Structure 1
Amino acid sequence: MKATEARLTAALDRPPADIRLYLLHGPDESTAMAFAARLARALGEGAERIDLDGATLRSDPARLADEAAAISLFGEARHIRITTAGEESLEAVEGLLAAPAAGNPAVMIAPTVKATGKLVKAGIESDRVLAFACYPPDARNAAALVAELARGEGLRLIPAAAQRIARAADGDRAIMAREVEKLALYLDAAPDRPQEADEAALEAIGAELVDGEMGDVVLAATGGDVGPLLEALRGTGPDVSPIPILRALARRLTMLAELKQAMEGGEPAEQAMKRRGVFWKEQAATAAAVRRWTLPDLQAALMAARRTEREVMGAGPAGRVVADAFLLRLARRAKR
């Protein structure tokens, strides 16, 4: 069935026995991962998690139903997380829904499937599935989302503080939630003892990534400037989340690919950059980057950036190291 966010979060926090699958589709993979984490928290620290992906289900469709019906060796709670799922997972989902028993809930993250596709349709038509579309919030909705997350932690955020967290998170719900949690801990806030949070409190916990620093990282990585990249990474500080940087990088790689395609089609570089709103101070670096990259390499780099974002989310405290290593590899590739 199609779920509202309220219905989804209520089910994730207290999983009902009749829901076998939480189908999280749509392009905002970060939000989907945050929802998946809620299910894990609800089942407790000792819960066992089985990790599958779309490729595994394509080669072995029966695996999902088998894992859903399996009993943990030591009797702990158990759940299944499927990442990078696509339409190739349809047969596995159909098997799960048709199985006579399935005691372990599954959450499926399917960022590339369309809302009109067969996988989503199967989920909506079944009363054993909660299907929810995850889309990145726009600037206004992001600030409202931060305020909502803050209320759940016992914080009364002033509007400027909510907007600042939303900008720093670059629309990433997981980062918003983490910054709100940090702020609540700092102020000792809770639903039964609410506290007001202003920009001074945000300064104290460092909940912002300066746009200039993030831009320097992205420009250096795509321009093949290893030295400036290392300097820019040092400037961001050790506690800054790499997710906004990787997302900014993905946007730049997408723009470079569009410019490359336009210029190979005969459009003058200056006209192509003006039409896409390239900031005048970045036009020289952008033109140089377009000349440096081939279109297939840009497409491959974009896929790698998105894959690295998923790896960072799963790496915990080591995520920053994973991201920095990828950015350095990218810069060295661009330099060659």
Structure 2
Amino acid sequence: MKIKEGIAARLDRPGDDVRLYLLHGPDEAGAAELAARLARAMGEGAERVDLDGATLRGRPGLLAEEAASMSLFGERRHIRVTGVGDESLAAVEQLLAADRAGNPAVMIAPALKGTSKLLKLVAAAPNAFAYACYVPEGQAATRIAAEAGRAHGITLNQDVAERLMRACNGDRAVMARELEKLALFLDAAPDAPRVASVDDLRAVCASVDEAEPSAAIQALVAGDSPALAGELVALTHEGVSMISVVRQLGRRLHRLAELRAEVDRGRSIHEVIERAHLFWKDKEPTRQALQHWNAPRLSEALARLGRIERDLKASGTAGEVAGAAELLGMTRRRRR
């Protein structure tokens, strides 16, 4: 059957009557994290059988065989299948129709389309679940981060949860690893919860600090000189160096250049943005940037950033004041 919510709870407590969990949709990292919940629910000593779509295409009966097989030493077993498409249809048909199974299977199918015969089969089956995985956005993203933190004994307020999700670019598998490190750092556990601060997050997640000048970078890319001036003053008070801003702006413009090249090859801006799997807050600014920054302008801006960084490192210059002035000049030129 097809469900829209509650898949995590079902994977945490797999029912004996459920033979298959089909996790489809573009958020492959999120699907992998959900599949890991089934592994944890099966227990530490459980055996995991790994299969893939190509194997099942050649041996469609293998999935049902593994689902009905007993472990040599009597441990619990579960099956994980990756790279799944409609080539696995026959295998799933045999699994769902088998006289007995016993070992639950989870399938990760990021490329499966809504018209897929496999998806329709699972959606109509009473002994299987189909769940669409999408990269979380907005309040859903921060809620997922907060819920994941609670599973590790960590309380995240909205600001910390959003910073964590942004630093991980919405990738729940990466976020899970960062939460594991944060739990060790705080000595947190579900029975001994701790509250995490932004400073705690910075201590264990290096990419959090990299995201700090993001508002300044967005202002420059958008050509908003007053906003950039205010952000540069705030960053100076927070101790963020101008070189850090310049380098991160360089990475931002390099990424824009890559996306712009795809647009110039004939793809629409909407298609390019969706294929890039950007964090939800970055989609609209990126769309606007791709409308206004063409390849020559990006090339010129990257060359200018290189000169600014060299000047910041050189002695006998105005240093960060001159760097800030150059960035403001770039913003004014972008606006013109």
Question: For the structure 1 residues 123 and 164, does the alpha-carbon distance in structure 2 shift closer, same or farther, using more than 3 Å as the test?
Answer: same
Q: Deviations over 1:34-79 (max 9, x none)?
A: 1111111111222221111111111111111111111211211111
Q: How does 1:106-255 map to 2 (within 5 A)?
A: 106-208=105-207, 210=210
Letter in 1 for 2:60: P
State the Cα RMSD in Å.
Answer: 3.5
Aligned AA (1:257): E
Go from structure 1 to structure 2 and tell me whether the alpha carbon gap of 1:286 and 1:52 turns closer, same or farther (over 3 Å shift): farther
What TM-score results when the alignment is normalised by the length of structure 2?
A: 0.65
Q: Is the 8 A contact 2:178 2:205 kept in 1?
A: no
Q: Distance in 2 between matches of 1:58 and 1:172?
A: 30
Q: How does 1:293-308 map to 2 (within 5 A)?
A: none
CA contact (8 A) 2:260 2:294 kept: no
Dislocated runs of 4+, deviation >4 Å: 248-255, 272-282, 285-288
Does residue 1:5 correspond to 2:10, yes or no? no
TM-score of the superposition, structure 1-length normalised?
0.65
Q: Distance in 2 between matches of 1:62 and 1:135?
A: 30
Report SS of the residue matched to 1:19: coil
Tell me by how many angstroms 1:212 deviates: 9.9
Are the counterparts in 1 of residues 260 and 295 from structure 2 also a CA contact under 8 Å?
no
| Cα separation, 2, equivalents of 1:68 and 1:262 | 43
| AA aligned opposite 2:177 | R
Amino acid in the other structure paired with 2:299? A
What fraction of aligned residue pairs are identical, expressed as a percent? Answer: 50
In structure 2, do the counterparts of structure 1 residues 273 and 163 end up closer, same or farther at CA, with 3 Å as the change threshold?
closer
Cα distance in 1 between the residues matched to 2:265 and 2:87: 32
The one-letter code matched in structure 1 to 2:118 is L
Q: Rate the CA distance shift 1:73–1:255 in 2: closer, same or farther, 3 A.
A: farther
What's the CA shift for 1:3? 2.6
The 3-state SS of whatever aligns with 1:107 is strand
- Aligned residue identity for 2:265: K
* TM alignment of 1:309-320, pairs within 5 A: none
Q: Does 1:257 align with 2:262?
A: yes
Unaligned runs of 5+ in 1: 214-235, 237-244, 264-271, 289-336
Cα drift, residue 163 of structure 1: 1.5
CA distance, structure 2, for counterparts of residue 21 and residue 251 of structure 1: 41
CA distance, structure 1, for counterparts of residue 257 and residue 62 of structure 2: 39
CA distance in 1, matches of 2:294, 2:163: 22
